[in-house]
């Protein structure tokens, strides 16, 4: 599996949109660290970000909104919030 900045950003976005539970995000990250190939020239950055996601199920680390913002910015993305009325 090739791990790119976009793939990692998409995984984080899916989690933030409640489409990917934290346990599944952590499982994905752990698998990526063990079996993934990282985008050429981005290996250090991606390994750092994915490894951080991989420990998010440990109480001492967690994965708060601020953590996601920081990780996304490291990947070159600027997260934003959209609020809509419930229907």
Structure confidence at residue 1 as a pLDDT band (50, 70, 90): confident
Helical (H) or strand (E) element with 3: strand 2-3
CB 39 within 8 A of CB 6: no
How many other β-carbons are positioned within 10 Å of the β-carbon of residue 71? 21
6 belongs to a structural domain = yes
Q: Look at residue 85 and tell me if it is in a domain.
A: no
Please tell me the distance from the alpha carbon of residue 41 to that of residue 21, in angstroms, as a whole number.
30
In a domain? residue 67 = yes
For residue 10, give its domain range: 2-74
For the chain, how many structural domains are there in total?
Answer: 1
pLDDT 10s digits, 12-66: 999 999 999 999 999 999 999 999 899 999 999 999 999 999 999 998 899 999 9
Give a yes or no: residue 47 inside a domain.
Answer: yes
11 within a domain of the structure (yes/no): yes
Q: Is residue 13 part of a domain?
A: yes
State the pLDDT at residue 87.
80
Question: For residue 74, what pLDDT band results from cuts at 50, 70 and 90?
Answer: very high
């Amino acid at each position: 599996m090739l791990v790119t900045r976009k793939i990692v950003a998409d995984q984080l976005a899916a989690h933030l949109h409640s489409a990917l539970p934290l346990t599944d995000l952590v499982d994905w990250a752990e698998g990526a660290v063990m079996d993934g190939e990282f985008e050429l020239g981005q290996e250090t950055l991606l390994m750092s970000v994915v490894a951080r996601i991989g420990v998010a199920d440990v109480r001492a680390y967690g994965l708060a909104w601020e953590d996601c913002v920081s990780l996304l910015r490291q990947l070159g993305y600027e997260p934003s919030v959209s609020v809509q009325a419930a229907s």
